[in-house]
Amino acid sequence: MAGLEHQVHILSAQLQRLRFENSSLLNQNDLLSKVLAMKEGQLSVLRHEAKAKGEDSTSTDVKPCPPCSMRSVLGQQGAIESASMYTAEVVMKMSIDDVCQKYKEYAQRLSELLLLVDKPGGSPEGSKEINQILADLSELLSKLVLLKPEYGAMFVGRNFEFGCTELPNETEAQKATEGLLRCLELKDEQQERVVALYRQFRTNMQRIRERRRHLNNQLQSQLLAMEGEYVPGLVMHRLAKASVQMEEVIQQLKSSVDSERFEYSNLCAAFFAVALTTLQAARIFVRSYPHYPDVMGLAMLVVQSVKEDPGCESDATGAST
């Protein structure tokens, strides 16, 4: 009898594990389909921008700039209005200071609205405006990283209050991030989504970093070739060939950096639009001000909290090689 009970216990544990794995796979498939839809939206924006540049600005053949944020993919409130507000043309004309100023204004307004929403009885109008602000912000940042990828890192590293690049204090930032995660009180389903997002992000980043290591080896080989022994009759030809090959490798390295930026951007977009509620997202922006939220840090803490091994973060999130 005891043996039978033990066997039932083992089978129950296996069933629970299989259910968890099935739920995790469903989450991953759902998230992957949404990310792919967002990337298709990004391609549509790039095609629109290329067509707009190639045609007269008064041409009626150039359709309105399509949305490309995760919120637009999900059909969340305000997303379409945001797409028409932050067209590719508008974003291309914005400086990094313009973008940071808009973020500062959004964060300050979110802080005011949360006070209204948190009052007894809430504020339907306040909740509606929060939805619209998050949609605006999502569309702005999505197009910013897409059309001006070099601005992405500059934006995330800003102290928006002082208008300069500044890292927060390490100890204070870690404590604040841990406290922020606790106050979010994520449900199990939300945690599963974050874990799935982080796993996909880590996989993509490992692929990018492996490609970059290969390109670095190629670049070193070309440098050695250019520094080799000069043979009369072949000197200029050999140098020219090596120079062309080096330029190709450098362009591929630049492309890998852009790919890395897109992965960070996609992680942030999906984290706020898929894993969190609207109010949770708003609270993160407000509580992280004057800095941009450390989305990757939050995701890693979630992974650790559900006792999942995050793997070697240095492989996926460390300094560029």
DSSP secondary structure string, 160-200? TTTTEE-PPPHHHHHHHHHHHHHHH---HHHHHHHHHHHHH
Do 318 and 267 have their domain in common?
A: yes
For residue 102, the SS3 value is helix
Distance CA 263, CA 201 (A): 7
> Could you tell me the sign of the dihedral formed by the alpha carbons of 155, 158, 159, 162, in that order?
negative
Residue pair 275/197 in contact (Cβ under 8 Å)? The answer is: yes
**Cα-only R_g, the chain:** 24
Residue 10 forms part of a structural domain: no
User: Are residues 208 and 267 located together in one domain of the fold?
Assistant: yes
Average pLDDT over residues 168-181: 88
Q: Are residues 176 and 315 in the same domain?
A: yes
Query: Which of 51-65, 98-112, 307-321 shows the lowest mean pLDDT across its residues?
Result: 307-321
Distance, in Å, from the CA atom of 238 to the CA atom of 225, rounded to the nearest integer, reads: 8
My answer on whether 103 and 220 are in the same domain is no
From residue 14, give the alpha-carbon distance in Å to each of 9, 10, 20.
Answer: 9, 6, 10
Residues 194 and 240 both lie in one domain: yes
More confident residue, 134 or 39: 134
Q: Where are the alpha helices (DSSP H) in the chain?
A: 2-54, 70-73, 79-85, 88-93, 96-117, 124-147, 149-156, 170-184, 188-226, 235-270, 278-288, 295-305, 313-317
**Of 143, 166, 189, the domain-final residue:** 166
Same-domain pairing of 119 and 195: no
Structural domain count of the chain: 2
Which of 17-21, 36-40, 68-72, 274-278 holds the top average pLDDT?
A: 274-278
What is the pLDDT confidence band of residue 213, given thresholds at 50, 70 and 90? very high
Q: Could you tell me if 120 and 173 are in contact, meaning their C-beta atoms sit under 8 angstroms apart? A: no
pTM, two decimals, is 0.73
How far apart, in whole angstroms, are the C-alpha atoms of residue 92 and residue 146?
A: 10
More confident residue, 83 or 291: 291
Q: Considering only CA atoms, which of 72, 219, 221, 75 is closest in space to residue 137?
A: 72
Sign, Cα dihedral of 8, 14, 20, 23: negative
SS3 48: helix
Query: Which residues span the domain enclosing 127?
Result: 37-53+64-166
* Average confidence score pLDDT of the chain: 80
132 and 76 share one domain? yes
The reply to whether 134 and 248 lie within a common domain is no
Asked whether the predicted pLDDT for residue 21 surpasses 60, the reply is no
Which of 166, 183, 215 is the last residue in one of the domains? Answer: 166
Arithmetic mean of pLDDT, 232-248: 80
CA distance 134 to 278: 8
Task: Verify that 143 and 231 share a domain, yes or no.
Answer: no
| Whole-angstrom distance, CA of residue 317 vs CA of residue 321 | 11
If asked whether residues 162 and 180 sit together in one domain, one would say no
Q: Which of 105, 136, 166 is the last residue of a domain?
A: 166
Distance CA 221, CA 242 (A): 9
| pLDDT tens column, 124-134 | 999 999 999 99
Least confident piece of the model among 51-55, 66-70, 114-118, 305-309: 51-55
